[in-house]
Amino acid sequence: MILTKTPQRISIIIPVLNEMEAIQKVLTSTQPNTNVEVIVVDGGSSDGTLEFVQSLGIKVLSAPRGRACQMNMGVTAATGEILLFLHSDTRLPANFDTMIRAALNPLQTCRKIPIAGAFALQIDAPLRSLRLIEWGVSLRSHFLQMPYGDQAIFLKAEIFHQLGGFPELPIMEDFELIRRLKRRGYIAIIPIPVVTSARRWLKKGIFKTTLINQIVICGYLLGVSPQKLVRWYRHQSQLSLSQWFKSVPKLILNINFLK
């Protein structure tokens, strides 16, 4: 009699807040699978997201609003040896579970044993400028070892607990987790992409969205508090392009005063 080894269990943790338009496609992308559980953590949705997910029989938790807090809450209910953190507007590729297990458990001939991993990124819109964004993401992920949360970060639960989980920051929680992982080892990038919504680029503008993100990263690295950064981020997102351009020099001149 030949005994087959049960594949490592993967727990997919999806933080949501008013994602009724996107969540069905995201959940569909988690199927079919082998030995995978899905946990949705709601941050106070009022658009029917919570009720819809519950109607599917998927495990649902509630947590205070905030992606880091919601994802950490999801981990408390996870039973998998591997954790996969999936944004609520990002769809997984077929056979994602097989690829994740292979990435975290490479053949013995491999020189580098990954401590974590993520997928390549595809943005769901046909604009050429978004192909440039994807190219930049690929360079950052491979050469700087810095994938972000919309690339579906995964790692072994043991490592996640050793790191103390996501730092409960109002912004930059994925950035900080990856920085901590980098100090401990290699981060694998699966070349098959996840597909993420283009909505934030289309709503705010591709150039504006990209530059705001880079300013927030620079501010964080310079020691600006995440609380002040998230207030600035939300304010800038509401400005027109001309208003925003006028505000950027002032921010750069006064960035030290934000600390």
Question: Which residues face 121 on adjacent strands?
Answer: 194
pLDDT of residue 206: 87
Residue 8's pLDDT band (cuts 50, 70, 90) = very high
**pLDDT above 90: percentage of residues in the chain:** 71
Helices (H) and strands (E) in the chain, counts: 11, 8
User: In the predicted model, what is the mean pLDDT of the chain?
Assistant: 89
pLDDT of residue 229: 86
pLDDT of residue 257: 45
Average pLDDT over residues 29-45: 95
Pairing of strands 82-85, 186-197: unpaired
**Residues 228-247 pLDDT 10s:** 888 878 776 665 656 656 66
DSSP state of 193: E
Average pLDDT over residues 111-127: 92
Residue 113's pLDDT band (cuts 50, 70, 90) = confident
Helical segments of the chain, H only: 23-28, 49-55, 67-77, 96-104, 128-143, 157-163, 173-182, 199-204, 206-221, 226-237, 241-253
Residue bearing tokens 């994925």: 174
What number of other Cβ atoms are within 10 A of residue 76's Cβ? 11
Whether 204 shows a pLDDT value over 90: the answer reads no
Nearby residues of 59 by Cβ (< 8 Å), 6 or more positions away = 37, 38, 39, 40, 77
Residue 165's pLDDT band (cuts 50, 70, 90) = very high
Backbone angles phi, psi at 90, to 5 degrees: -125, 130
How far separated are the first and last CA of the chain, in Å rounded? 65
Helix, strand, coil percentages (3-state) for the chain, rounded to 5, are 45, 20, 35
Residue bearing tokens 């993967």: 10
Q: 159 burial class (0-12, 13-18, 19+ CB within 10 angstroms)? A: middle
As given in the structure block, the two tokens for residue 29 are 């992308």
- Of these ranges, 131-135, 223-227, 242-246, the one predicted with the greatest mean pLDDT is 131-135
What is the dihedral sign for C-alpha 55, 56, 59, 62?
Answer: negative
User: CA 185 → CA 116, 179, 228, 244, distances in Å?
Assistant: 8, 10, 31, 39
Neighbour-count burial for 82-116, b at 16+ CB within 10 Å, e otherwise: bbbbbbbbbbbbeebbebbbebbeeeeeeeeebbb
Whether 250 shows a pLDDT value over 80: the answer reads no
Prediction pTM value: 0.91
**pLDDT above 70: percentage of residues in the chain:** 88
